[in-house]
Structure formats: C-alpha cells, structure tokens
Amino acid sequence: MKILSWFEIPVSDLDRAMRFYETVFGFTMLSKPELQMCWFMGENNEKPLGALIKHEQFYKADEQKGVLIYFQSPSGDLANELTKVEDAGGKVLITKRAISQEFGFMGIFVDSEGNRIGLRSKK
C-alpha cells in the first residue's frame, strides 16, 4: 500500500521555487499559474503527486517547525542532488549520512522558500 497520496510545499515566490526544484532534481514541473501551483509529476508524467503552492494566508514555510517531506533521489545517490542545492538558492542542513544497511542514506536541505526537505537514497 502506498501511504503518500499528496503533498503541498508552501512558497512565497512560485517561479523561484519552481526553478529551484527543477535545477536540483533535473525535471520539469507542470505549472498552473491560475491556481498558484506547480506540480511534481508522477512516473511518465501521468498524474501529479504533490505541488508547490502559494497561499500566504494558509501556508508558511518554516525550516524548523514545518512538515518534513522526504523525496527519493532521482539520481540514485542523494549526494548528487545535494551538490546542486546551494547554487539553486537553498542550503544543506545535513549532508549525506547512513540511516542503516536496510534503509540506505538521508540528507536534509532548505529550499529557496525556507522549507526543510529530506532526501533518501539506497547508495
């Protein structure tokens, strides 16, 4: 059973946030400016899995208290994505470190909007 059904990451500048995630992860997001959203698309771009969303009355980025979402590393080694974070306007909080033999590795960064985001990979 897949437990994750949807996620939303708060942003204050939608274009900046979209550029950040496209740069770090190397994919193209689907932009819905009329909704103030950009979608993270699923496999084969069939359906969105989550979104960047601008709604300042409802959401606020917070690198210390906000929700922590973990993305799977698109490259298979999260060190690759972490090397792109600072140039894209974010900062690395936790460099690549082992979780366990079974669960692989993790790292945490702050995106261009101030959200804490985790990364996981097997290697």
pLDDT (tens, 9 = 90+) of the chain, 123 residues, equals 566 778 999 999 999 999 999 999 999 999 988 999 999 998 888 889 999 999 888 888 887 877 889 999 999 999 999 999 999 999 999 999 999 988 999 999 999 999 999 999 999
**2 within a domain of the structure (yes/no):** no
CATH classification at residue 113: 3.10.180.10
Q: Is 44 helix (H, G, I), strand (E, B) or coil?
A: helix
**57 within a domain of the structure (yes/no):** yes
**83 within a domain of the structure (yes/no):** yes
Number of domains composing the chain: 1
**62 within a domain of the structure (yes/no):** yes
Q: Which domain holds residue 57?
A: 8-121
**3 within a domain of the structure (yes/no):** no
pTM of the model: 0.88
Residue 36 CA, chain-centre distance (Å), reads 17
**21 within a domain of the structure (yes/no):** yes
